[in-house]
Amino acid sequence: MSEAAHAAMARRNPLARLWNDKESRQVIIQIISFVLIFAFFFMMVRNAVINLEAIGKDISLKFLWQPSSYDINQSLIEYSSRSSHFRAMIVGILNTLLVAVFGIALATILGFLLGISRLSKNWIINKMAYVYIEYVRNVPVLLHILLVHGMIINLLPLPRASLTIGDGAFLNNRGFFVPKPDFEPLFLAVAALFLGGVAFAFWFRKYARMVQDQSGKHYPVFWICLAAVAGVPLLAYFVLGAPITWEIPELQGFNYKGGMVLRPEFIALWLALSIYTAAFIGEIVRAGISAVDWGQNEAASALGITRGRTLHLVVIPQALRIIVPPLTSQYLNLTKNSSLAIAIGYMDIVATIGGISLNQTGREMECMALVLALYLVFSLLISAFMNWYNRRIKLVER
Amino acid sequence: MPETEKTHAELAVKIEAMHKWYGQFHVLKNINLQVRRGERIVICGPSGSGKSTMIRCINRLEEHQQGDIIVDGVELTNDLKNIETIRKEVGMVFQHFNLFPHLTVLENCTLAPIWVRKSPKAEAVATAMEYLERVQIPEQAHKFPGQLSGGQQQRVAIARSLCMNPRIMLFDEPTSALDPEMIKEVLDVMVELAQEGMTMLCVTHEMGFAKTVANRVIFMDEGEIIEENSPDQFFDHPEHERTKLFLSQILSH
Amino acid sequence: MSAPQYAPGKHPDLPAPSTLAGPLAWVRANLLSSPSNITLTLLSLWFLWSVIPGALNWFFFDAVYSGENRAACRAAGEGACWAFIGEYLKLFTYGFYPEESRWRVNLAFVLMWLALVPILFDRVPHRKYGLYYAAAFPFIAGWLLVGGLGLAPVTTDKFGGIMLTLVVGVTGIAFSLPIGILLALGRSSKLTIIRVFCVGFIEFIRGVPLITLLFVASTMLSYFLPPGTNFDLLLRVLIMVTLFASGYMAEVIRGGLQAIPSGQTEAADALGLKYWQAMRLIVLPQALKISIPGIVNTFIGLYKDTTLVIIIGLYDPLGIGRAALANTSWIGLSTEVYIFVAIFFFVSCFAMSRYSLYLEDKLETGHKR
């Protein structure tokens, strides 16, 4: 369209002029989209109000303080069926966090082992890791959870025929029963030594750094710290005559009593989430380490830096920058996937407040809103950490 | 022509009947080379002729399969101690600089002295600053490699090697990844280094550099040393057909 | 050295010493290169030796392939009991779809492959018409499966098994891509309101687990609909799954959009193209091409996530498997059932991921200079 034609059209129609001006067109589009979005939400809310009114429901969180009247078989805090729905929700949150933390720890260890195996020169190890990763990644996580749970329930023996590990731990289809420690006063000394060891380790790292800066002398920092944190307390523990009595679980009737128990639901969820996430972490680690240019290794070798030091000083710091962001999002995925707990009856957030509480009170809106909000908070926290980390480690480029 | 039986004190590098294969591919064939202390050798040849591989064998970035390599009187075998000793004495500069991007320029230079030579930090920093001044970029010491130009990065890489006080320097096409206007600043540093009497083995196509600095020029093709001569002889009266062909190709543009 | 001397430039290529090439060298380099490597090899061989024969026996040699129920299986052999598969195979495939109408499912399945051909391979004759057909396929399939317009109607609660997985998967895949593109464009738009809305939507979707969204669909979505309307559970699930996948799709495509240099949009502007023209003709084709591997990965994730529908009471293969386990004849066979379903998912997802790798290779060569 020529300039003249434009001008002619603009003279004819002020609306067309507005539409053809870049700035005002943006404003118009924004107003229209705002109205549409607003109308959409307004309709939804209006429908909800009418629908709720029709069945005589209101929206209120008061139900949270009514007794929940259901039991939860695994709880980190005191809880009974007389406790409130709110308390049930807290139990659910803690259970989600519990399995998430344990899962993240195990998945990280497994994942790094897998990643390193995928880079191994050893052909068998390499291919075994490959097969593991491909199998696990291509099967839904829910299926892993159900499979592991089913194996625990159906393949492990009954309590009477439990697999005995050591003398005090028993594995059967009701769970994993382990001795419960009962601390004697002398144990305080061991604990104090441990804390002292941790403090010493922190101090010693700084000190060793200082000595190295000043004189060039190298201490075997890792081994000394390990000795301080683990060695000395362990020694003290035996010297003081092992001041922990163990409450060993015993078979009473159809099940074990006493000790501590990891329930099949927890074990299944924990293992399955770790197994699944580890496969993804393994790929991330492999990709991260192989993304570090081989020239970096060569340059370090040419300077006479040994293989181990090269890893520690050159490769790992660079690989971590690549690994950590996707790693955190795997952690987030694991946490979100823990919501599948409901399939095997592990009492997490979804199973407590979004499941039984919801069904008992009929407060779908409030319960689901709470569940969604809780997961959003987890996600926001993790992505806030990720952004902070990314900013901190970003390589400075021209 | 190589004289017979040099003492270790005079010979920096001695390669005898060395062969190397990549899988079934015969990359280096019967390499014989002796480098005296203070000698500066330029190695040239078409790409794929094995010249980089050869100098990478000298500090064992590549393994050879037959023959002997003796550097500074130490024979290169699978013995890790020997390899470490030699790598401390042999500096290397790469085509793509290979600076550590997560460390500042200064940290790049002090890393090896601190962890390999076990120098105190202050000493390592002082040495590093000295060498950074010699390559004329002391003001960049606290920047990261990513913030520097290619020429500056290569000068840092040279300084980084020098900080280990090497007796021999290997240069693997140090200027071929650089923009034309930056080549000179790197060559200047290398010329200065040569004038101070450093033993240098340099893979490069910078024929001007070869003419002014080298004691000997070596021409390699298809994994063999084809011709070995003084620069004047090499450029003015090449003996071998392939050398002539190569020279005509690179001098024509 | 008694090695023969050659004139310069005449040295022949010699065969590598046997330490360097050939099977023995391979074994040495890959299995026995160092003491730690030897240890690893021995350990892993021991591991394989102790696991594989037992697993094979359980899986094949000692397995029982026919029998009335679990007890009969157990009596017949030590290994896995695959007998339930025969009884449940139809359910695994068609769910509860009426026997007499199953030809419609089969037809839809064949049509799906026809629709996939022009999408998967770019050297198909008349690809353009093929793509039009592929775009129309979800609607054709919907008509075939649900019925109406001359076909006997089938309610969606009869859907199940692999057929349900494919319905949810294909719908999610077909609709999440366009929605994801719109969201990604919205997120990188200059218009504040649109951008804020898209960012909010994407972050919300990616911040919550799919299962909570499915719960929303099954428990409270009907509150937000006009009074008196109610639409069926499968449709609600399809909507949620699609929205969920499009949130992830949007991020993948945004990555692709960011990789396109701004010179491309500027060039398009300079040519006088309007926003949508510039996007459709210049930017999107490039961005989508870069993000194909990510898109396929999102598809695989979506496909695996279809299993979650069992939690709100639909019967995909996993749900059918659980139903089989609830049958007193087969109770306790969870390992067999789940492994059977796992094989199904593994085969389809592995195929998809191989295809994605093939595409990646193809793209790599396309970008090589």
Domain ranges of chain C: 23-82, 84-97+154-363
| pLDDT, tens digit (0-9, with 9 covering 90-100), for C44-56 | 999 999 999 989 9
CA distance B85 to chain C (A): 21
Its sign, for the CA torsion B226, B232, B233, B236, is positive
CA distance B93 to chain A (A): 8
For B227, which of C8, C11, C13 is closest by C-beta distance? C8
| pLDDT, tens digit (0-9, with 9 covering 90-100), for A47-90 | 888 888 888 787 888 888 888 888 888 888 888 888 889 999 99
Interface membership of C209 toward A (CB under 8 Å): yes
Q: Hey, are the CB atoms on C1 and B222 less than 8 Å from each other?
A: no
pLDDT at A1: 47
Q: Which of A207-211, A331-335, C228-232, C294-298 has the lowest mean pLDDT?
A: C228-232
| pLDDT, tens digit (0-9, with 9 covering 90-100), for A38-51 | 998 898 888 888 88
Mean pLDDT of chain A: 87
Point out which residues pair with A244 in neighbouring strands: A183
Assess whether pLDDT exceeds 70 at residue C262.
yes
Task: Tell me the one-letter amino acid at C38.
Answer: I
pTM score: 0.88
Residue C226 phi/psi, 5-degree rounding, is -55, 140
pLDDT at B4: 45
Report how far residue C187's alpha carbon sits from residue C287's, in angstroms, rounded to the nearest whole number: 14
| pLDDT, tens digit (0-9, with 9 covering 90-100), for A304-357 | 998 888 998 999 999 988 898 889 889 999 999 999 999 998 999 999 988 888
Assess whether pLDDT exceeds 80 at residue A253.
no
**CA angle, residues A98, A101, A105, in degrees to nearest 5:** 140
Report how far residue B47's alpha carbon sits from residue A293's, in angstroms, rounded to the nearest whole number: 22
pLDDT at A258: 76
* C123-151 average pLDDT score: 85
**CA angle, residues A220, A221, A223, in degrees to nearest 5:** 70
Do A92 and A49 lie in a common domain? no
Do A304 and A169 lie in a common domain? yes
pLDDT at A5: 58
Do A328 and A387 lie in a common domain? yes
Do A307 and A361 lie in a common domain? yes
Its sign, for the CA torsion A376, A377, A382, A386, is positive
Report how far residue C70's alpha carbon sits from residue C83's, in angstroms, rounded to the nearest whole number: 8
* Residue (of B67, B38, B43, B45) closest to B55 by Cα position: B43
pLDDT at A246: 81
Task: Tell me the one-letter amino acid at A373.
Answer: A
CA distance B163 to chain A (A): 10
Assess whether pLDDT exceeds 90 at residue A171.
no
- Outline where chain A has alpha helix (H): 3-12, 14-20, 22-54, 85-118, 123-137, 141-155, 187-215, 221-226, 232-239, 264-291, 294-302, 307-310, 316-337, 349-351, 357-361, 364-393
Q: How many domains does chain A have?
A: 2
Chain C residues closer than 8 Å to A340 by CB: 209, 211, 308, 311
What's the topology of domain C84-97+154-363? MetI-like fold (1.10.3720)
Confidence of residue B203 (pLDDT cuts 50, 70, 90): very high
Do A175 and A304 lie in a common domain? yes
pLDDT at A7: 59
For B120, which of A216, A293, A395 is closest by C-beta distance? A216
Do A101 and A19 lie in a common domain? no
Task: Tell me the one-letter amino acid at A270.
Answer: W
pLDDT at B2: 44
For A302, which of B92, B117, B123 is closest by C-beta distance? B92
Tell me which DSSP letter residue C101 carries.
Answer: G
Assess whether pLDDT exceeds 90 at residue C11.
no
| pLDDT, tens digit (0-9, with 9 covering 90-100), for B62-121 | 988 889 999 988 888 888 888 888 998 999 999 999 999 999 999 999 999 999 988 899
3 state DSSP class of C208: coil
Chain C residues closer than 8 Å to A372 by CB: 208, 212, 216
Domain residues for the domain of A152 are: 85-179+248-393
In a domain, A148, yes or no: yes
**For residue A40, what are its two tokens?**
């959409």
Report how far residue B160's alpha carbon sits from residue B132's, in angstroms, rounded to the nearest whole number: 8
C9, closest residue in chain B (CA to CA)? B226
Interface list for chain B against chain C, based on CB atoms closer than 8 Å: 17, 19, 21, 23-26, 29-30, 65-66, 221-227, 240, 242
B222, closest residue in chain C (CA to CA)? C9
pLDDT at A147: 93
For C207, which of A29, A137, A375 is closest by C-beta distance? A375
Do A320 and A387 lie in a common domain? yes
Do A170 and A269 lie in a common domain? yes
Q: Residue A341 sits in a domain of what CATH number?
A: 1.10.3720.10
For C41, which of A122, A151, A339 is closest by C-beta distance? A122
Do A46 and A109 lie in a common domain? no
Assess whether pLDDT exceeds 90 at residue A276.
yes
Do A260 and A135 lie in a common domain? yes
Confidence of residue A20 (pLDDT cuts 50, 70, 90): confident
Please report the residues numbered 139 through 158 in chain A whose beta carbons come closer than 8 angstroms to any beta carbon of chain C.
Answer: 139-143, 146-147, 149-151, 153-155
Q: Hey, are the CB atoms on A140 and C345 less than 8 Å from each other?
A: yes
Report how far residue C164's alpha carbon sits from residue B120's, in angstroms, rounded to the nearest whole number: 69
Assess whether pLDDT exceeds 90 at residue C364.
no
pLDDT at B253: 55
